[in-house]
Structure 1
């Protein structure tokens, strides 16, 4: 019984160490969970949809009437889903202003949440 428990402990420790090494290499090379990665195409339909969602949600929460124009740049971060950090151009009255928005998206759960929205 003691030999079996020692073997299981050794195997578990080995798996943990190997996983840890791969995680650190992945992070060092610019990948991995929690790393912000620039978006290649801010005009992709799914990214534009996230930007429009951010403006719409902000309008509901703040009682404003911003009008989505475009996305200037953006990044994604893998979490339990995906965080989108977007620089959004939105019209406020007669002026186009820049806003920094963060949206948490979990499409498999049909879940989106605006976690941050501020003028730049």
Structure 2
């Protein structure tokens, strides 16, 4: 194989390695916060919070901002808006999603203060 034909292959390999390094560790912004999968995770977070909370009756409104982190699954940190029947407030939800195990777990859910 000629050296000239190896150059494009090596370039693609290096770019691929660089992208994988950038993904590992730390949170990265979610580009499409209106993706149905992200909306589903937000609904899950609110449903779980309502189950755990004493008398909580939050209703999902929208995702404001989202980040993800690759771990033994994916951590989703979502800032979302929810209505409690009379007022709308913003919350931060942290959900561990493990699609291989068909598992989701609400790690934390707390109000965001301005």
TM-score interval w.r.t. the shorter chain?
A: 0.7 to 0.9
Query: Cα deviations across residues 39-63 of structure 1 (Å, max 9, x unaligned)?
Result: 0010000000000000000000113
Query: Partners of 2:23 and 2:59 in 1: how far apart?
Result: 34
Q: 2:33 matched to 1:42? A: yes
Higher-helix-fraction structure:
1
Residue in structure 2 matched with residue 52 of structure 1 by the alignment:
43
Q: Structure 2 length normalisation: TM-score?
A: 0.78
Query: Partners of 2:60 and 2:34 in 1: how far apart?
Result: 13
Q: Kindly name which structure, 1 or 2, has the bigger radius of gyration based on alpha carbons.
A: 1
Flag structure 2 segments of 5+ consecutive residues without an equivalent.
Answer: 1-16
Q: Structure 1 length normalisation: TM-score?
A: 0.74
Flag structure 1 segments of 5+ consecutive residues without an equivalent.
Answer: 1-21
Residue in structure 1 matched with residue 101 of structure 2 by the alignment:
109
Select which of 68, 77, 80 maps to 1:85.
77
